[in-house]
Chain A
């Protein structure tokens, strides 16, 4: 059927044709306040088509997979391209990277389908029991956990000769924990997981991590003091390091944003095409995006345009080193695509996306990072964050946060706020830990939305002279 569609599109003067059969099977166990709430599943399956006709890119998709409908989809896409060509002042063309014919599968050591519903519910019950055990006392709690599974299967073919077949499973736990005591409350929403089977839960010690978070939350509730404010040194934990890497490095390094393609939705960038080589941070700033990390949340070996994936060093020693490209932006920049084209489902076009974005490890132990701080804040985790659409003005409000005095962690502090520009923040980084950890998220971009699985992370990072504020409301 793919051959038929390719031939028909080429017959109708398409310069480029791409088909993607794309199926995602998702399953979720929702466990609320100690009992199973609901089980839900999603099966999303269909065919995506892109054709390039006289420099106009046209996308079409359908989940009615018959020969007649596929041909009709091809003709519809070609007709739409021709009907819209009056709006095209610039012609799209695509970079021709090396061609691959490959099949690859990510193995599940503990297969999701082999585990019974009781076993899956037991995972959540065990998480909940451990959390309750850690927060006993007068604290009231509300707990919501989702054990999720997503298996993504794809075949990508195109008129360059690409054939990529892949199967990637993902497992995660999302949790929402709210603790209340004496009229105060703290809340954490988090997600940990990766690619593979249910072994991911044990391999990444996910239940232990959730339990540790709940314990820290209880301590914040019991012992948290108002945060000191003013200029001070800070250490951020891996979760905060990761969100910084994702928001103020990953997104603005997406070449489609730099070119203005997402300007009315996800926004633009503080960078321009000419900024390769520009110093935008201290020499300690080394940020990469790497989809090839085994067991990662944003794992793939070939992107949705059939380009072979590799690690991309976005910032090297504080200098802009490489942007994230698909074939279209690569052609404009005159570089090869670095395999950043991803589509979340069959009914979405592949666009430039991150995968696993992180600060590279340094060579400090956590104690070494601490010992040089006279007065400061350790912001281990966060809840509220946001950033402007050029990725310059950002804010991270700490949840698991502590006061540091003379190289020692003293007590929990309440909601310290870092509100700062990207240049100020990246210029203030002076040391990186060895303790890299990753967190899972669903990155938002695209119209219609394409929430796509990613990892974000890094080691503990030390920044000098950061203005800490209290959260006002």
Chain B
């Protein structure tokens, strides 16, 4: 499993070729990804898919010009031809004003423990787990389920002209299942881990049925401000967008409301949002970035205060600071998004909220203006109405229409339970709790 000898030698050969061409800066990121996806709908298999993808991402700094080439052809001569073609044109590109060399010198990478499990590739076991989960979910309450079970193995390497080399491998298991009751109300579960044991296959059918039991009372609500509990799927979506906006590139490009916010209290003082790609057993683990800078735990917001933008070497130079280990050669980005849990459990959050909404999922988050942070997002699946500290029914056709800064400023509490989340509409692998938020603007269509 995971032979990548050809990729190692290809990277080495391309590197030597670039050195011979007199290139100033080189970063080569090689990766091999093998993946299987079992996709299902209407309680039946849709398709089984398998992937074996080898790719190279090559950054070249040459005569103060910057080039990035992503190529998945593993034919050495073809890759060299592509590179030579690019170098022959290099002088015709304009110089980059803020050009900066890649970092150099020996560094240690902290490889998180327990992030690779070869057993995930046992197809029969995956099919058994999925079949039991579907069979135990569908029945009197739930008429149909759809989703995917996905297993992935990743081997990633980086080699730079700064004298650095790193490699690691990781496994991922991801289950996404949406369950529909007979009246078409739905509830969605999404789990991600590094081994099958991280996914609570046995527990999920009961959890799904538990939430779908509240279907007796469907109500319309009116336009206005509500106190809201957001489930981890919602939190991961919004925190993902917000953390992306902490990228120095987006701040510079006018695609973020976080300009001039370093040192300012911009989110709730109860809130820590951070990246920790070196966490043991984390599905989002990665020990180095695309410039071979070691990754580390990085607070974006700590106790409400914005601590840093996310930087690669280029943006760090421009902002007169150090790289935070978030290259993205062009666009720095979070590796993972983590929010610390609070003290209460979900039942206590519901009780404390007294009156409001409990939104279990969202999608289609879109911004009117990234500088102001005005956005809307569409809750999907169950939206519960909370009255007197209890769930009293559910609603539909609503939209969160607010400002991303307000949302994170108005968080009042978090559940102590935290969940690893990653699905179709989550920007980054995330570990987040349920959160309670005051005064969320809700619009609706009836």
A263–B373 alpha-carbon span in the complex (Å): 30
A45–B44 alpha-carbon span in the complex (Å): 32
B4 shortest CB reach to chain A, Å: 11
Q: What are 7 A-B contacts defined by CB distance under 8 Å?
A: A60-B49, A63-B72, A142-B254, A347-B51, A421-B397, A449-B424, A472-B443
Question: CB distance A84 to B48 under 8 Å?
Answer: yes
Question: CB distance B48 to A419 under 8 Å?
Answer: no
A87–B73 alpha-carbon span in the complex (Å): 35
Question: CB distance A80 to B50 under 8 Å?
Answer: yes
Q: Is A438 an interface residue (CB 8 A)?
A: no
Nearest 5 A/B pairs, CB to CB: A142-B254, A178-B254, A386-B364, A263-B146, A89-B44
Residues 208-262 (chain A) with a chain B CB within 8 angstroms? 259-262
Task: Identify the B interface with A (CB < 8 A).
Answer: 6, 36-55, 65-74, 82, 86, 89, 92-94, 96-97, 123-124, 127, 130-131, 134, 144, 146-148, 176-178, 180, 188, 252-255, 330, 363-372, 374-378, 380, 397, 399, 401-403, 406, 424, 441, 443-445
Which residues of B sit under 8 angstroms from A94, Cβ to Cβ? none
Question: CB distance A35 to B94 under 8 Å?
Answer: yes
Question: CB distance A264 to B146 under 8 Å?
Answer: yes
Question: CB distance B127 to A264 under 8 Å?
Answer: no
A83–B123 alpha-carbon span in the complex (Å): 7
A185–B65 alpha-carbon span in the complex (Å): 32
Interface of B is mostly: strand
Question: CB distance B39 to A447 under 8 Å?
Answer: yes
Other 10 A-B pairs with CB < 8 A, given A90-B44, A388-B397: A35-B97, A40-B69, A41-B67, A57-B48, A264-B178, A349-B47, A383-B368, A384-B374, A386-B364, A386-B378
Which residues of A sit under 8 angstroms from B131, Cβ to Cβ? 86-87
Name the contact of B68 in the complex, choosing from A39, A259, A447 (C-beta under 8 A). Answer: A39
Question: CB distance A263 to B48 under 8 Å?
Answer: no
Question: CB distance A473 to B330 under 8 Å?
Answer: no
**Closest chain A residue, CB of each to CB of B37:** A447
**Closest chain B residue, CB of each to CB of A398:** B368
**Closest chain A residue, CB of each to CB of B404:** A473
A186–B43 alpha-carbon span in the complex (Å): 47
B302 shortest CB reach to chain A, Å: 26
**Closest chain A residue, CB of each to CB of B35:** A448
Which residues of B sit under 8 angstroms from A1, Cβ to Cβ? none
A106 shortest CB reach to chain B, Å: 23
The digit string for A7-32, where 1 denotes a CB below 8 A from any CB of B, is: 00000000000000000000000101
Q: Is A107 an interface residue (CB 8 A)?
A: no
Contact A260 B146, CB 8 Å, known A80-B36, A388-B378, A419-B443? yes
A270–B365 alpha-carbon span in the complex (Å): 21
Question: CB distance A264 to B41 under 8 Å?
Answer: yes
Which residues of B sit under 8 angstroms from A264, Cβ to Cβ? 41, 146-148, 176-178, 188, 424
B191 shortest CB reach to chain A, Å: 13
A444–B190 alpha-carbon span in the complex (Å): 20
Name the contact of A40 in the complex, choosing from B42, B70, B441 (C-beta under 8 A). Answer: B70
Which residues of A sit under 8 angstroms from B36, Cβ to Cβ? 80
Task: Identify the A interface with B (CB < 8 A).
Answer: 30, 32, 35-46, 56-64, 73, 76-77, 79-81, 83-90, 92, 116-118, 121, 142, 144, 176, 178, 180, 185-187, 259-267, 347, 349, 383-389, 392-393, 395, 397, 399, 415, 417, 419-421, 447-449, 469, 471-473
Name the contact of A80 in the complex, choosing from B48, B53, B71, B441 (C-beta under 8 A). Answer: B48
Question: CB distance B366 to A187 under 8 Å?
Answer: no
Question: CB distance A473 to B123 under 8 Å?
Answer: no
Question: CB distance B253 to A144 under 8 Å?
Answer: yes
Question: CB distance A388 to B123 under 8 Å?
Answer: no
Which residues of B sit under 8 angstroms from A92, Cβ to Cβ? 47
A32–B50 alpha-carbon span in the complex (Å): 39
Question: CB distance B371 to A473 under 8 Å?
Answer: no
Residue from the set B72, B188, B380 with the largest chain A CB neighbour count within 10 Å: B72
**Closest chain A residue, CB of each to CB of B371:** A185
Question: CB distance A176 to B255 under 8 Å?
Answer: yes
Which residues of A sit under 8 angstroms from B74, Cβ to Cβ? 63-64
Contact A84 B123, CB 8 Å, known A142-B253, A264-B147? yes
Question: CB distance A393 to B397 under 8 Å?
Answer: yes
A324–B370 alpha-carbon span in the complex (Å): 34
A250 shortest CB reach to chain B, Å: 15
Name the contact of B330 in the complex, choosing from A38, A117, A384 (C-beta under 8 A). Answer: A38
Question: CB distance A386 to B399 under 8 Å?
Answer: yes
Name the contact of A393 in the complex, choosing from B45, B368, B445 (C-beta under 8 A). Answer: B445
A271 shortest CB reach to chain B, Å: 14
Which residues of B sit under 8 angstroms from A387, Cβ to Cβ? 364, 378
Contact A57 B372, CB 8 Å, known A63-B72, A473-B401? no
Name the contact of B441 in the complex, choosing from A38, A73, A383, A472 (C-beta under 8 A). Answer: A472
Which residues of A sit under 8 angstroms from B72, Cβ to Cβ? 43-46, 63
Name the contact of A419 in the complex, choosing from B69, B375, B399 (C-beta under 8 A). Answer: B399
Question: CB distance A60 to B93 under 8 Å?
Answer: no
Question: CB distance A88 to B44 under 8 Å?
Answer: yes
Which residues of B sit under 8 angstroms from A392, Cβ to Cβ? 397
Name the contact of B38 in the complex, choosing from A63, A77, A87 (C-beta under 8 A). Answer: A87
A461 shortest CB reach to chain B, Å: 19
Which residues of A sit under 8 angstroms from B82, Cβ to Cβ? 41, 43
B357 shortest CB reach to chain A, Å: 16
